[in-house]
Structure 1
Amino acid sequence: MKRPSEDVKIFSGSSNPMLATEICRLLGTEVGAAELSRFSSGEIYVGIGESVRGADVYVLQSFSHPVNEHFVELMVMIDALKRSSAGMINVIIPYYGYARQEKQDRSREPITAKMVADVLTTVGADRVITMDLHAPAIQGFFDIPVDHMTALDLIADHLRNKDLTDHIVVSPDAGRAKTAERLATYLDLPVALMNKRRPKHNEAEITHVIGDVRGKIPIIIEDMIDTGGTIVKVAEGLVEHGALPHVILCATHAVFSDPALQRLQHPAIREVIVTDTLPVEAPVMQKLRVLSVAPLIAEAIDRIHHNRSISKLFSESNR
């Protein structure tokens, strides 16, 4: 990667400044100057500390806890950049919050993922760069370009360093089946599918397993780990069906809402592999492995700025 030209500016919200700093280090630049503060009433203030007139601007903000604070902060940052005459405002959202509200499961429910897309577009975003959406169809909620990247190759590369004899890739539900099949193809492993139902939010009941997991070590692939309740039920269900109690759990987004860290200490879970799309304070668990998406995002910024395809970043994904 080349050092970005002077007309490229990279700014960071307060959700994941360490990731933004690492991206800038890889690009040979510095995080743009911005003042982020709160009024006594709790209102958010953003001041851009350098000229962005005509610049190709990238602003990074994940929807980490507190989600609503970081969402509003991003809106204010975009507005500040727009009013500062930025040439192009590219919003990098490694973890797109509200993605689980992408459809109506019952009458009179919101489709909040669409509402967030509308707000981002209306306030002035020209492009969105995100990773492993809960539902890929969310890309269609936007009327602006969306670059939907994946951490699957990073996870696959990490797993290749292990002896994968007698391992099996497991999709925890039908929604992850395609991702599980891709990972199984990358690793040349068999695949199994769990069937579950949700009596209410953040709860799941496993009904049955499709595939033979007896005597095998499961590799569960998810897009996120929130409270950890579902994933523990999946691990226990696999063991009940004959899998070895050495589960490897893989997920892009480490939401880790309480009591996730406590639940992930379950003895059947041997390793938890996540990325830094959300800030993870280390060391939080001995079994936790955090992979950085900074090189991936830095390369994407370089390619987008120079009008080159970012699909080349995912050589395996495009096979």
Structure 2
Amino acid sequence: MMILACNANRTLANRICDHLKLSPVKADVRRFADAEIYVEVLDNVRGADIFVVQPTAAPTNDHLMELLIGIDALRRGSARRITAVIPYFGYARQDRKSGPRTPISAKLVANLLTIAGANRILTLDLHAGQIQGFFDIPTDNLFAAPLFARDIADRFVPGNTVVVSPDIGGVVRARLLAQRIGAPLAIIDKRRPQAGLSEVMNVIGEVEGKVCILVDDIVDSGGTLCNAADALLDRGATAVCAYASHGVLSGAAENRIEASRLTSLTVTDSIEETNGHGPKLRHVSAAPLIGEAILRISEQRSVSSLFA
């Protein structure tokens, strides 16, 4: 078993290596003067079971190409099996035709990874579970719920919390967390007039006098969580804390969250922590979860039992 760390999130890759007590594969991942990407694997990988750690966060296209080229280099180096470990799967929100003559980019990315030579995919909290079906190779989708459940247990008094889904599409994710911590479930009925904008319509469930735990997979602009926090507090919630698997935090998202009525936002380190150091922003590491999944895949053991 070997770990290759590309450039998108070396901090997470090193944490995974520390968990597994491994040293990362030596490789030269750089760019030529014209910005073309070059990957040279310096260690012998012939016959190796190798895991390439590379989230495809911004700059998404650069990181995706880096991953594809790295996989190709390993395939040509005669690696026995190549698993693409993609903690944050870019283009996952383009998982269906949203209108006439629009792409399904998540399927295109799946095809690219397979053709490049990936034998398996390991990712964390896909935006839509059906994306697993876009691949013709085994795909493991991990869930951040166990990480969040442990953090919530350390921070909040049992029996005084309610887990809230910020939209109808996130109900399954919120219910999974609610079951883990033994809390009731509430749902925000949300209308999205256009991409990047959301308008809260109604709150389904009892939130008065409770600490609300908002749970989502991606926080991008932050508008959905901020609007949801306003709606919950206006309906009698005592505090609103948010948990999201992937802190994209594009544009002015961090400032928006700091100025909001949210008490805190907790994200994993699936995306490199290049920004996001405000007092309301917290991080939990997904490295132990991903590292354990990598070990189980390499040893041909069950991954799903991690979430039993």
2:205 to 205, 211, 222: 211
User: Which stretch of the first structure deviates more once superposed, 130-139 or 175-184?
Assistant: 175-184
Query: Structure 2 length as normaliser, TM-score?
Result: 0.96
Q: Does 1:259 align with 2:259?
A: no
Partner of 1:5: none
| CA shift for structure 1 position 167 | 1.9
Matched residue type, 2:304: S
| CA shift for structure 1 position 35 | 0.5
Matched residue type, 1:174: I
Matched residue type, 1:17: R
The ranges of structure 1 where at least 4 consecutive aligned residues each deviate by more than 6 angstroms after the TM superposition are none
Would the aligned equivalents of 1:232 and 1:266 in 2 still touch at CA under 8 Å? no
Matched residue type, 1:199: P
Partner of 2:33: 40
| Correspondences of 1:149-164 after superposition (within 5 Å) | 149-161=142-154, 162-164=156-158
Q: Distance in 1 between matches of 2:301 and 2:160?
A: 40
Matched residue type, 2:247: A
Partner of 1:287: 280
User: Which stretch of the first structure deviates more once superposed, 278-287 or 38-47?
Assistant: 278-287
Partner of 1:200: 194
Question: Secondary structure of 2:123's match?
Answer: strand
**Runs (5+) with no aligned partner, structure 1:** 1-7
User: Which stretch of the first structure deviates more once superposed, 175-184 or 91-100?
Assistant: 175-184
2:169 to 167, 175, 184: 175
Partner of 2:74: 81
1:99 to 92, 95, 112: 92
Superposition CA RMSD, Å: 1.3
Q: Does 1:227 align with 2:221?
A: yes
Partner of 2:109: 116
Would the aligned equivalents of 2:254 and 2:276 in 1 still touch at CA under 8 Å? no
User: Which stretch of the first structure deviates more once superposed, 164-173 or 281-290?
Assistant: 281-290
Identity %: 43
Q: Distance in 1 between matches of 2:251 and 2:278?
A: 14
Question: Secondary structure of 1:198's match?
Answer: strand
Partner of 1:61: 54
| CA shift for structure 1 position 204 | 0.7
Q: Deviations over 1:95-144 (max 9, x none)?
A: 00111110112111111111110110111100000010000110000000
Query: Structure 1 length as normaliser, TM-score?
Result: 0.93
Q: Distance in 1 between matches of 2:271 and 2:134?
A: 23
Q: Deviations over 1:9-58 (max 9, x none)?
A: 21011000011111111212111011111111111111111111111111
Number of residues of Structure 1 aligned to a counterpart in Structure 2: 307
